Amino acid sequence: MASQYRYQELENWLLRGISEHRWRLGERLPSIRTLCIEQNLSKATVQHALQRLEAQGLVEARPKTGYFVTLPPTHVKKSLNVGQVEAPRPVTVSDLFLDIMKRSAAFDLLPDLSPGRLPPGIVSLNRSIGRALRRQQGEHHQYYDAPAGVPRFLEQLASSYAKRGWAARPEQLCVTSGCQHALFLALMACCHRNDVVAVESPGFYGALQLLEQLGLRVVEVPSSIETGMNIDALEEALKRWKIKACIVSPAYATPGGALMPINAKKRLIELAERHDFAVIEDDIYADTALNGTPDPLKGMDPNERVILCSSFSKSVSRDLRLGWVSGGRWHDRIVHLKLVTQLATSRYLQEGVAEYMADGSLGSHLRRQRNELRINRDCLIASLQTWPCETRISSPQGGLAIWVELPEYVNTLSAYLPALDNGIVITPGPLFSTSDQFRNCLRISYAHPWNSARLGALAKLRGLLL
Amino acid sequence: MASQYRYQELENWLLRGISEHRWRLGERLPSIRTLCIEQNLSKATVQHALQRLEAQGLVEARPKTGYFVTLPPTHVKKSLNVGQVEAPRPVTVSDLFLDIMKRSAAFDLLPDLSPGRLPPGIVSLNRSIGRALRRQQGEHHQYYDAPAGVPRFLEQLASSYAKRGWAARPEQLCVTSGCQHALFLALMACCHRNDVVAVESPGFYGALQLLEQLGLRVVEVPSSIETGMNIDALEEALKRWKIKACIVSPAYATPGGALMPINAKKRLIELAERHDFAVIEDDIYADTALNGTPDPLKGMDPNERVILCSSFSKSVSRDLRLGWVSGGRWHDRIVHLKLVTQLATSRYLQEGVAEYMADGSLGSHLRRQRNELRINRDCLIASLQTWPCETRISSPQGGLAIWVELPEYVNTLSAYLPALDNGIVITPGPLFSTSDQFRNCLRISYAHPWNSARLGALAKLRGLLL
């Protein structure tokens, strides 16, 4: 495993202290100043470690007072039930997904392609790509890029992971046409037809679609809307069936924005070692973190069992179509599959985005976006809190959506077409599973600002559902 | 089938006349003026029909004299032998392909990424894309494009096919990340594991790689370097084995630039009907035509059996990563597979390229490039004609390469590494088959100008081989 950074040492020391009750629930941690002096660390290092604990929901910053040991957020009304794990089965996904995707609208209640001001972070992104196009010279356009991608871009990606506890090297990464493409290559590389793949339930519908097309069987592992995949349930499933791969989103899993605690991550890696399966980590939501970005599983992967997949679609632009994969022991096979199925990725695009990362524009964009997402999330939570008291909602610290559990009698699927008649596109609960669960649930995104039109759509939707 | 354009009617009338010996080999066709008057057609229509016959190698234009019925080009020294068809077998492709691809160099003897002036056609392409980026507004970047692509771009593609005898509708097309990606989706859609696929031999190594990864078996159908797949041999193979799909490049097949005659195309379609298989048409080289662009097979496909695949990589830029597919009866499944495996394609890119096509920039680029390719080709032919007299070469009217057949004792594969030591990347004959044929053959590209460095490399290569 990679040697630790100093902030990681401090983070682990604090974690140990919490687990060993040096600091109990509700108690204050030592001040930043004290930690700097006692541990002989810079203020930035101490702050970084504390922010990372905060991002995991383990401590809470109170203005001008300090950091306190805390529970997961308190305004989540109740944890969802963990059901029984069902036997592996082939996947058949409804046409609903295709319909929603054709509306390009999975993340917007009220799709709006009207003109308007482009966010400054996207203006500067487009300028970077434009400059890369103008820098093209000679016969460059006559050559395919190397299948893994442009070294300068891979270096930027690697250095952004180094800040998240994974000492990545550029040659461990391969560029793809988005995260879905990365997941596809990952599954192609580590599974064969009829193999069994474990997924979160509720979980990402795109993964279910891939399993269907590749002829793989699914085991849906019950997942908490706060802490992600239930590792006990996974362990039970592993005793009963040979599982070849497990797809997880430790950082803000869709639909509810669950954050997997460090201990669950450790157990998952241990299980992967013991039962010899691949862990496919969907890291796409990491950069939507509201309080510091959690570390990837990939950083705690001693034997190269984790395949990390990600892209810029959730954090920057869905129109970039630029993702990446780090395939662990399957990496060479993944790069080969990328080459064979689509040769290469645009060099100008990678160069433009590399500049956007290197000159700090990406960081500025993410900071601005974080503030906007926090406002959007809080506004959605406030709206939903006026819904009937049986309504339970998630309270994510990242991701782009809230999971809404409505009274048992509600059928969100049957509200799809009536909502559409009002120009409203919803993502009903059953999309996030293959087993006819979550009929009374709904994912509502806060990716877009709650202007009066969208607030009106939300009110209308409430009327249609309840 | 689509109703005919007037130029097609004239073309067919002239073809009938040639086949019925109204005009014999070496005789002159009626003048353009005569045809205009007798057939009541515009000069442009008559010229278009004549240029199309010329592109098929059936007539030859002599300056200030007229069009003459001709044989295929005379400086091709001898047609290659048609061997026996071998039984279907799984595909295992050598690592050599990967090595060549990693050098981004399959089309350049002497890869040269040094700076220099960008061709004007690429400057204007990049400007169009840059303008599309600057036109992005509002929340556009937050939405995935529809899986099939941007309507305006698909309309441009459709109207360019209408000029080639296929009355395409935009909804028959789906955008992809290049032609290789289109071929991949096509094979995924119409074949299952262990199915048998017929390919040209020698033929495109990328197709062999796809068959290997998808677990498909191959039948290599002997192909002439002038006229492409031997349809008699295909017919024999169809009697012996159940063939699920047949991949062909009717327009300037790699490696030698073969052009499939109209009668062979008709027979291929008839066989597909009779034996119920998919025809996967690789049309990527069509726009490299030196004398008018041949019609696609897709235009003579009454029952939607042809899946057309293409991209801009050979005619405009390999760095665009923009291709398309028209899937016939498999089209919906192909669009679905595209969605599931990579969601969407960049909208800004399609909009930029649509503008580049609509404002005539693509046409200007292709005209300029055609002149350059003709010079490059003729220079390569002149060089190769100084090689020993046992050397046979193809004389393509399109494509980007010449197929060179050397004396039997030569082993081009064993020259690969010594050439590499001199910075020279070659594509040896065995790459273009899975059956250990073509050891004395070599594909040499004329995509790049023959500056003194490349001419030096060619001379060096001759020394290494002979």
| pLDDT (0 to 100) of residue B74 | 33
The dihedrals phi and psi of A392, each to the nearest 5 degrees, come to -110, 140
Decide if A147 touches B, using CB distance below 8 A: yes
Say yes or no: B318 contacts chain A, CB-CB below 8 A.
Answer: yes
Same domain membership, residue B435 and residue B355: no
Average pLDDT taken over every residue of chain B: 89
Lowest mean pLDDT among A19-33, B157-171, B355-369, B444-458: A19-33
pLDDT recorded at residue A20: 66
Q: Pick the residue from chain A with its C-alpha nearest to B123.
A: A134
By C-alpha distance, the chain B residue nearest A116 is B138
Q: Is the pLDDT of residue B83 over 60?
A: no
Which residues in A lie closer than 8 A to residue B341 (C-beta atoms)? 180-181, 184, 210, 213
**Residues on chain B touching A338 (C-beta within 8 angstroms):** none
| Chain-chain contact of B180 with A343 (C-beta, under 8 angstroms) | yes
Predicted confidence (pLDDT) at residue B372 exceeds the cutoff of 70: yes
One pLDDT digit (tens) per residue for chain A, 466 residues: 345 678 888 988 888 787 667 777 778 899 999 899 888 889 989 998 998 888 777 788 887 889 988 754 333 333 334 446 888 877 777 777 777 766 656 677 887 777 788 899 999 999 999 999 999 888 878 888 888 999 999 999 999 999 899 999 999 999 999 999 999 999 999 999 999 999 999 999 899 999 999 999 999 999 999 999 999 999 999 999 999 999 999 999 999 999 999 999 999 999 999 999 999 999 999 999 998 899 999 999 999 999 999 999 999 999 999 999 999 999 999 999 999 999 899 999 999 999 999 999 999 999 999 999 999 999 999 999 889 888 999 989 999 999 999 999 999 988 888 998 898 989 999 889 988 889 999 999 999 899 999 999 999 999 999 8
Q: Write down the pLDDT at residue A102.
A: 66
Q: Is B353 on the interface with A (CB under 8 A)?
A: no
B133 touching chain A per CB within 8 A: yes
- Whether chain A has a CB inside 8 Å of the CB on B111: the answer is yes
Number of alpha helices (DSSP H) and beta strands (DSSP E) in chain B: 15, 17
Using the CB atoms, write b or e for A186-200: b if 16+ within 10 Å.
bbbbbbeeebbbbbb
Residue B80 lies in a domain: no
A181 located within any domain: yes
**Does A77 reside within a domain?**
no
Same domain for A343 and A377, yes or no, is: no
Poorest-pLDDT segment among A90-94, A113-117, B140-144, B406-410: A90-94
Contact status of B120 with chain A (Cβ, < 8 Å): no
Q: Chain A residues with CB inside 8 Å of B210's CB?
A: 340-341
Tell me which residue in B130, B177, B319 faces A342 most closely, judged by beta carbons. Answer: B177
Degrees (nearest 5) of the Cα angle A428, A91, B174? 80
Q: Which residues span the domain enclosing A139?
A: 128-361
Residue A1 is assigned to a structural domain of this protein: no
Same domain? For A201 and A328 the reply is yes
Domain final residue pick, A361, A385, A416: A361
Q: Answer whether A139 sits within 8 Å of B448, measured CB to CB.
A: yes
CATH, residue A378? 3.90.1150.10
Please indicate if any CB of chain A lies within 8 Å of the CB of B114.
yes
Pick the residue from chain B with its C-alpha nearest to A140: B113
Contact flag A144-B111 (C-beta cutoff 8 Å):
no
CA B255 to chain A, closest CA, distance in angstroms equals 18
Taking the Cβ of residue B41 and every Cβ of chain A, the question of whether any pair is shorter than 8 Å is answered with no
- For B399, list phi and psi in degrees, rounded to 5: 90, -170
Q: Domain for residue B452, yes or no?
A: yes
- Check whether residue B202 and residue B307 sit in a common domain: yes
CB contact under 8 A, B346 and A320: yes
- Which of B288, B321, B369, B372 to probe by mutation at the A interface, max A CB count within 10 Å? B321
- Please tell me which residue, B242 or A395, carries the higher pLDDT value: B242
- pLDDT (tens digit per residue) in B178-211: 999 999 999 999 999 999 999 999 999 999 999 9
Q: Last residue of a domain, which of B311, B331, B361?
A: B361
State whether A287 and A326 are in the same domain.
yes
Q: Please state, in angstroms and rounded to a whole number, the distance separating the CA atoms of residues B27 and B6.
A: 24
Name the residue among B342, B348, B447 with its Cβ closest to that of A181.
Answer: B342
Q: What is the pLDDT of residue A185?
A: 97
Please check whether residues B20 and B129 belong to one and the same domain.
no
Residue A136 to residue B122, Cβ atoms within 8 A: yes
**Closest chain A residue to B188, measured at CA:** A213
Residues of A in contact with B450 (CB under 8 A): none
> What residues of A are in contact with residue B447 (Cβ under 8 Å)?
142
Contact (CB, 8 A) for A162 and A4: no
Q: What is the pLDDT of residue A101?
A: 65
Residues A144 and A285 in one domain: yes
Total number of domains in chain B? 3
Instruction: Provide the 8-state DSSP code for A119.
Output: P
Q: Chains A, B: CB contacts under 8 A, how many?
A: 205
Cβ of A134 within 8 Å of Cβ of B126? The answer is: yes
Contact B94, B431 (CB under 8 A): yes
Q: Report the CATH number at residue A139.
A: 3.40.640.10
A111, A209, A319: residue with CB nearest B141: A319
Residue A80: per-residue pLDDT: 38
Q: Which phi-psi region, left, alpha or beta, contains residue A404 (left: φ > 0; alpha: ψ -120 to 50)?
A: beta
Q: Are residues B356 and B441 in the same domain?
A: no
Domain end, chosen from B339, B361, B383, is at: B361
Contact residues, chain A, for B401 at CB < 8 Å: none
Does any CB of chain A come closer than 8 Å to the CB of residue B257?
no
Q: Quick one: pLDDT at residue A182?
A: 97
CB within 8 Å of chain B, chain A residues 393-422: none
For residue A346, is it within any domain? Answer: yes
Stretch 219-238 of chain A: residues touching chain B, C-beta under 8 Å: none
Name residue B276's amino acid. Answer: D
Question: A123 to chain B, minimum CA–CA distance in Å?
Answer: 8
Q: DSSP letters along B147-203, please?
A: TT--HHHHHHHHHHHHTTT----GGG-EEESSHHHHHHHHHHHH--TT-EEEEEES-
* Distance in angstroms (rounded) separating the CA atoms of residues B309 and B186: 8
User: Chain A residue closest to B347 (CA)?
Assistant: A319
Section B430-455 average pLDDT: 91
Look at B8-17, B48-57, B81-90, B328-337 and tell me which has the smallest mean pLDDT: B81-90
Contact A340 B206 (CB under 8 A): yes
- The reply to whether residue A133 touches residue B136, judged by beta carbons under 8 angstroms, is no
Higher pLDDT, B114 or A440: A440
Contact B2, B298 (CB under 8 A): no
Tell whether B302 lies on the interface with A, counting CB pairs under 8 A: no
Query: Do B147 and B274 share a structural domain?
Result: yes
A214 to chain B, any CB pair closer than 8 A? The answer is: no
- B396 vs B12: which has the higher pLDDT: B396
B242 neighbors B389 (Cβ within 8 angstroms) = no
3-class state of residue A126 by DSSP: helix
**B445 and A CB contact within 8 Å:** no
> Between the CA atoms of B56, B59, B60 and B66, what dihedral angle is there, to the nearest 10 degrees?
-140
Residue A407 is assigned to a structural domain of this protein: yes
CATH classification at residue B47:
1.10.10.10
User: According to the model, what pLDDT value does residue B7 have?
Assistant: 85
Chain B: closest CA distance from residue A441 (Å): 23
Is A140 inside a domain boundary? yes
User: Are B356 and B372 contained in the same domain?
Assistant: no
The residue behind tokens 């799809």 is A416
Region of A140 please: left (phi>0), alpha (psi -120 to 50) or beta. Answer: alpha
Contact across the interface for B133 and A138, Cβ inside 8 Å: no
A137: distance to nearest CA of chain B, Å?
5
**Cα(A208)–Cα(A213) distance, rounded to whole angstroms?**
9
Residue A138, chain B, CB below 8 Å: the answer is: yes
Shortest CB distance from A104 goes to which of B102, B144, B313? B144
B446/B426 Cα distance (integer angstroms):
13
Question: Closest residue of A to B180, CA-based?
Answer: A342
Over residues B205-224, the mean pLDDT reads 93
Contacts of A402 (CB under 8 A, 6+ apart): A256, A257, A377, A380, A381, A384, A393, A394, A395, A396, A443, A444, A446
Instruction: State whether A211 and A296 are in the same domain.
Output: yes
In this prediction the ipTM stands at 0.81
Half-sphere exposure of A271 (CA within 13 A, CB side): 23
A101 and A53, same domain (yes or no): no
